[in-house]
Structure 1
Amino acid sequence: MPKIDLIQDALQSTLQPQHLQVLDESHMHSRGQETHYKAVIVSEAFAGLNAVKRHQRAYAAMGDLMPQIHALALHTYTPQEWAEQGVAPASPVCAGGHK
């Protein structure tokens, strides 16, 4: 099963998001395939939590997958925040790094 599907399944089953979008952004970086991901997660599970606690919840949901991923950009919202914002920020252009 592709890693992106494993990520989606892990986040879906644990956080029960109202909206979940996982993108493989590896093509934008020099570390190879299936290494860089972006996840937009809208869940009531984030209500009352600051950004650090929200990210910790997502990392916990990922469990054993986390060591297999070089980078995971998380954009976490409550449904109310998502209704107001409606879009996650664009990912930055890769500045290089090791090849």
Structure 2
Amino acid sequence: MSFRSDIPLGPFLVRDHQQGRTTERRGKTMINLLLLGVVLLAVGGCACVLWAERGGPRWVRRVATVTLAASELVRRSEKRRRRRERRSMTRTTNGRD
């Protein structure tokens, strides 16, 4: 049975016709594009925060507000995660777990 290289075998897997093996080429490309999009949004949000501090237009102030709120959510989430890790380490060192 021969495979064509353009037929997806799964959501991110492609059969390589010449090598006869399955590769994850599409998955890596999709992940890279997703990460690039996240980085671009973060950089754009930071630029809007700086512009809003200098009295930018209304839409810039709104984007800056959303960016700052998102960063606060990430900060709080990370703080909770570290707190849970500390508690679990304390339990294992005390012999409770």
Scaled to the shorter chain, the TM-score interval is under 0.3
Normalised to the residue count of structure 2, the TM-score between the two structures is 0.19
Which structure carries more strand by proportion? 1
Q: Select the structure with the greater relative contact order (CA < 8 A; seq sep ≥ 6).
A: 1
Instruction: State the TM-score, normalized to the length of structure 1.
Output: 0.19
> Radius of gyration: which is bigger?
2
